[in-house]
Amino acid sequence: MLYLTLIICFVLSILITPLIKKFALVMGATDQPSQRKIHQTIMPRLGGLAIFISFMVGMIFLRPESPSFVAIMLGCLIIVGTGILDDLFELSARYKLVGELAAAITVVFWGDLQVNFVNLPFGGQLEFGLFSIPITIIWIVGITNAINLIDGLDGLAAGVSSIALITISGMAILQGNVFVVTVGLILLASTLGFLFYNFHPASIFMGDTGALFLGFSISVLSLLGFKNVTFISFIVPIIILGVPISDTIFAILRRIINKTPLSAPDKFHLHHCMLRLGFTHRQAVLLIYALAAFFGLVAVIYSQARLGGAFFLMAIVILLIELIAEKIGLMGKDFHPLLKIMRNLRSTAIRNRP
């Protein structure tokens, strides 16, 4: 039954996306070319509605069992409603945040989805207590916006989300978490069907309807799959979502360094940097796909590693992320502290050479 449902979701997403495209054009839900945008023509957005409809059909068919099922579905409705309003009327960041918080609070309180504690590597537990609620809400809202931020090139957010869903679903299979596997695969099939029209050259954008929905769903699935476990497993979803999380963190740091508002747009996100390096649109997307797949592979290895190996692997990954960020200009054109240290060390070594 699962396989049949996945096929139905995939085919349905392919069939209804052209209808959503016509609907978006009629409703005026379009993306206009601008200095910040990559595309040069008017593009219909609202494509995420096709992903959501296909996903809901799959969920109705299978109705996977979980105490959080109703709360998650309601949260999805709230976040998709927020995305639709934004695609139609371009909501301010404040109102979008209200919708995101409402969706997060719904699953946290009604669905009883909270990160209450983490088993520490050297024994004992770190109890979050009253902080469990804000930590969980911050995670959901943060990942929701992280996926939204990388939605800057054709097929980028859909592809990176698909890779994250494959990793989460695969690890859930190993853990025997039937609910996460079922929901993750249904969402994956629905997203891949939409990607048929969204990959470069795209004929429709997912808009905030899709980006917010995917970000929210992935954040919830990662919590369901990895909450209240060991410290190592607690880090796994962060690694899986390494691309959007890294891009978001560097965007925040970049704005702090440049003393600009956190909500101020710029053209120094990962995909912008790739294009400035001379990669084509398609090449940039495929390279970021490869980077997302690399993070997924690291997450799987990390989850199976022993304590010492896990910390060593994490240190290498963080160092690699910083080097790549400085090399491609993710922190800005003139901010390269680690590269400067490495150059100074190399110069010193050359001068001291006999």
The residues pairing with 236 across neighbouring beta strands, listed in sequence order, are none
CA 206/CA 87 separation, integer angstroms: 9
Query: How is residue 261 written in tokens?
Result: 């508002």
Task: Give the mean pLDDT per block of 10 residues along the chain (354 residues).
Answer: 94 98 94 68 93 97 92 97 96 94 96 75 69 91 92 93 95 90 97 96 95 96 71 73 90 84 78 89 95 92 79 88 87 76 77 69
| Among the listed residues 37, 43, 82, 98, the one whose alpha carbon sits nearest the alpha carbon of residue 208 | 82
Q: Which two tokens stand for residue 211?
A: 């980006």
Supply the pLDDT for residue 124.
Answer: 62
Nearest to 212 by CA among 57, 63, 340, 95: 95
Query: 158 and 214 in contact (C-beta within 8 Å)?
Result: yes
Instruction: Give the model's pLDDT for residue 309.
Output: 82
Give the annotated binding-site residues for Mg(2+).
148, 208
Hey, how many other C-beta atoms are within 10 angstroms of the C-beta on 140? Answer: 28
Query: Tokens in use for 111?
Result: 């669905």
From residue 4, alpha-carbon distances to 61, 64, 188, 236, 269 in Å are 10, 15, 14, 30, 39
User: Quick one: pLDDT at residue 10?
Assistant: 98
How confident is the model over 18-76, as pLDDT tens digits?
999 999 999 999 987 766 666 668 899 999 999 999 999 999 999 999 999 999 999 99
pLDDT of residue 350: 75
What is the β-pairing status of strands 30-31 and 43-44? Answer: antiparallel
Whether the CB-CB separation of 72 and 220 falls below 8 Å is answered with yes
Helix (H) or strand (E) holding 43: strand 43-44
Binding residues: 148, 208
Query: Looking at residue 342, what is its pLDDT?
Result: 80
* Amino acid letter, 246: S
Q: Give 138-182 pLDDT, tens digit per residue.
A: 999 999 999 998 988 999 999 999 999 999 999 889 888 999 999
The reported pLDDT for the residue numbered 209 is 97
* The pair of three-digit structure tokens given for residue 99, joined into one six-digit string: 């919708």
Tell me the C-alpha distance between 315 and 141, whole Å: 26
